A and B are shown apart, each in its own frame.
Chain A
Amino acid sequence: MRILLAFIFALSCQWVIASPTALDNPSPQASFSSLVQQLPAASIKELSPLVDQLAATNDPKALTLLEALKDGQLYYTKDNKTVVRIIEENKATKEVTTETILEPLTTQTINTKTIKKIRVNNALRGQIGDYLSALKLFAEDETVRQAAIADFITQPDPEQVGLLQQAQANEQNEQLKAQLSIALASIDAHNSALPENQLAAVTLLAESQHMETFYWLERLQEKTTNPELKQAISTSMDSIQSRRDRYKMVENTFFGLSMGSVLLLAAIGLAITFGVMGVINMAHGEMIMIGAYATYVVQSLMPNHIGYSIWVAIPVAFLSAALVGILIERLVIKHLYGRPLETLLATFGISLILQQAARSLFGPLNQSVITPQWMSGSWEINPMLAFTYNRLYILFFALMVFFGLVLLLRKTSIGLHMRAVTQNRAMANSMGIRSGRVDALTFGLGSGIAGLAGVAISQLNNVGPNLGQSYIIDSFMVVVFGGAGNIFGTLYAAFGLGMINKYIEPFAGAVLAKILILVFIILFMQWRPRGMFAVKGRFVED
């Protein structure tokens, strides 16, 4: 690895003085191709020196090759052991488009069965990664360069000083230049022979946005005997620490909001069926499960368009869960209005039936739902603060569903009917509203929204027969805490509980946080038995 970096350094110097490399290496092309031809037969242990040699060939194609190897895109054909790289994959037809690495460059579409992967392990991926990050210091794309510099800040290595100085001299972007100074300062702080250089480096490190620098300084502090330097280190460490604490607050708030958004999604459906209609629906969790399975089915029907499948899944999940909800209402719950205990038992039975139905239909194993590319990874604001995309999208989705529902209830005639029936059934009937139909629609709406929650949850959790079980308790908790019958109560309760949970968790751990939340709710309900925002007015019974 170090030899490698030294080589790259030498290489980048050569760029500057523009000397042809071909002189040192009589036939780089030949050796590159012979190395490539060795790949199919090599075991993982033999691959490691091969990678070093490949990198050292300085062949322009080495970068593509190594990147493909690292990402598991490098294969060889079973018949004549030609090394190929995958360009495009068609999951439905099980075909891939491949391109040969060596001349002549040919592209062809073949069945996946005819090729075999060149397997790599973690150590090898790390080895290639190190090599690539050295090369990436000189990449065209700024974000690529930034990531490469971050690698050098988090793992300072004195042997790379020359390379970094080279990069700094080439760098045009001021911000990245500053980052490179920090990378160099990390090395200087430990290695510089001159105390004043060390002092300057340590002072500069206060600007670092990496927690690694903090520990790097801590180790220096244990080592050094210079009191002035010790003082400077403490100051720099404090400044990093306080920056970290600030971002930690923001991060915790985001975690809380995100957890709240999942609680909200799971609970709004219930806020309608339980909160508005007063039906204790123990099968609510299974409506979420139906939505999640709908996402899985849609995805397996369009394996080549995973990115769009989510958009198709949203209406499909809503409709299928709503349909099941309406069926349950018409067949079972209709006959049980006003008998909460029987409703509870009947819906509990339905939930078990639906679970076992899922188990019989899809098997007892979890199904894998692929997270689309645009929902993976995180939005990195700086190295200390990043928001994961899937959580971010789900937060927006939850708010959209919520406000969509509020609009529906307040601004449409069906919403008006729903409110009328739940407030005074007899009066609504005499005004010509078909309350039976409205009941079915309301229950269908609540179930459909649970189905939407299933789409979101399929991106976070397992899709399996037990999915609903893990959300039913939380959903009731949120609705009861917020005050049954008040949709906005559910909103505040969901985000409130999410935030409390996420602020407790760093100190108490996840197990205790959960217990404390439940204790808190029990105590709260003693004080306000009808929840935070109790419905008031003459239509409130008892």
Chain B
Amino acid sequence: MSFIEQAKRLLGMSLVCSAAVVMSGCEKPAEAPAAPAPETAPTEETVEAPTFDGEIKVGVLHSLSGTMAISETTLKDTVLMLVEDQNEKGGLLGKKLVPVVVDPASNWPLFAEKTKELIEKEGVDVIFGCWTSVSRKSVLPVIENLNGLLFYPVQYEGEESSKNVFYTGAAPNQQAIPAVDYLMDAEGVERWVLEGTDYVYPRTTNKILEAYLKGKGVAEEDISINYTPFGHSDWQTRVAEIKEFGSAGKKTAVVSTINGDANVPFYKELANQGIAATDIPVVAFSVGEEELSGFDTAPLVGHLAAWNYFQSAEADVNDEFIAKWKGFIGDESRVTNDPMEATYIGFKAWAKAVEKAGTTDVDAVRSAMYGIEVPNLTGGIAKVLPNHHFTKPVLIGEIQADGQFEIVSQTEEVPGDAWTDFLPESAKIVSDWQDPAINCGNYNTETKACSGQNY
């Protein structure tokens, strides 16, 4: 059994670490940022170990302990894999990439402190990190003040464009809107339940979706919006309500922005109350391959998810990525997911920009980023836009019993929109950091001025 082997392997470590972990989080020795002296590192017998002329420090700001460790640990490993891969190819500008891993421990203010530590103390040239919007918002003032560079790899609610952040995940127009379009066209849905966990991402996304649906002629009484607390586990009442809402004779669907942990009990309750995907399909924006590996997938088959990447995407570059990931992590059963792909394209775009700029200086790299094109993992091209977002295809997948997705719809690359066009107050705002006439993240096309807000 794999967990027994794991237990043996980790028991020693966990004992040593568990005491320290309470305060600091357990950092495996291999990832310790201690600058490796060149004579200790190349113990491997392989020939042509590349020689490096200096170092480029890459900050990794993902929670390795606490509630968000479940999602973020994977992204830390992804960055480490990409760094290792880049070093094997000779590094960047002849220099070796050195990852600096810190653990903000799912603690939002700590994200800001660790960012400061990374930039001021460690002197990193770029940071890959954050998952929740609140952690990103906590990092923003610090990273703008110190003029750092952050790549944020998770789908989010939009309405933001910082000079110092590149958003490699999906903006609402790259995930939510196309998913709703799919349900309308392919499944003929006329009645909508917008179900979310009570925090900023679902509330903003649902506000945008509500405006969008109404614009499409959906009546007020055909939309039901509800929020539940974090980690909500008793879904009986709400599922009964959804069941009744769906009995009105019109095809009904649930658009779910339910956060990670509350999903399992939600889908279980749906299945137990006899609601199948053919009756009321649920399209989720936060359920990916990794989350599914912790689910009993039987009750979920046929429900949908919208992402910009699925592990099942058929592309050579994807097969290569999956094989490399499984080899790096040493576990055949591990899966890949969308935020990993977002990390991948962010890293590749940054590497390309550094080569183009010939330096790791933040301002030079930032200017070099615009217009850079890197292949994504679904066989297309991701282009960096002047609003710090990327072009991404939108994929709709149906959950299969093996925890993978069957891709039922795939769009062309959609440019990410920082400010949504479906809320009147945001529609008139654009972000453009390339055009010298605008050069800000929140240019109001009516008043012809930037709002003055930093991000």
Contact = CB atoms under 8 A, between A and B. Distances in A.
A509 B226 contact: yes
Interface string B195-211: 00010000000000000
A251 to B, nearest CB: 6
B22 A352 contact: yes
Contacts of B423: none
Interface residues on A, range: 35 or more
A368 B296 contact: yes
Interface string A136-162: 000000000000000000110000000
Interface stretch (B11-19, B31-39, B121-129, B376-384): B11-19
B115 interface: no
Given A364-B70, A505-B237, A460 B294 contact: no
Contact of A506 (B237, B247, B290, B294): B237
A367 B290 CA distance: 11
Chief secondary structure at chain A's binding surface: helix
Interface string A367-400: 1111100001110100000101111000000000
Contacts of A219: 249
Contact of B18 (A301, A353, A509): A353
Interface in B1-48: 1, 3, 6-7, 10-11, 13-14, 17-19, 21-22, 26
A300 interface: yes
Contacts of B304: 122
Interface stretch (B131-139, B271-279, B354-362): B271-279
B294 A462 contact: yes
Contacts of B10: 360-361
Interface stretch (B89-97, B342-350, B398-406): B398-406
B105 to A, nearest CB: 11
B232 A510 contact: yes
A21 B228 CA distance: 57
A240 B18 CA distance: 60
Contacts of A509: 226-228
B65 A122 contact: no
Contacts, number: 185
B316 interface: no
Given A361-B6, A378-B274, A262 B234 contact: yes
B234 A514 contact: no
Interface string B69-95: 110010000000000000000000000
A356 B296 contact: no
Interface string A109-136: 0000000010101110110010000000
B378 to A, nearest CB: 18
Interface in A418-473: 460-466, 469-470
Interface string B266-301: 001101111001100100000000110111111101
Interface string A488-516: 00000000000001100110011100100
B237 A154 contact: no
A324 interface: no
A516 to B, nearest CB: 13
A154 B126 CA distance: 57
Nearest to A252: B237
B226 to A, nearest CB: 6
Interface string B228-270: 1101111011101100100111000000000001001100110
A377 B406 contact: no
A211 B244 contact: yes
B232 A371 contact: no
Interface of B: 1, 3, 6-7, 10-11, 13-14, 17-19, 21-22, 26, 65, 67, 69-70, 73, 186-187, 198, 226-229, 231-234, 236-238, 240-241, 244, 247-249, 261, 264-265, 268-269, 271-274, 277-278, 281, 290-291, 293-299, 301-302, 304, 398, 400-401, 406, 408
9 contacts: A212-B249, A301-B1, A356-B17, A363-B6, A364-B73, A365-B70, A368-B293, A370-B298, A466-B261
Given A255-B234, A366-B295, 11 more contacts: A44-B406, A123-B186, A123-B187, A215-B247, A252-B237, A255-B237, A356-B65, A368-B296, A388-B269, A466-B67, A506-B237
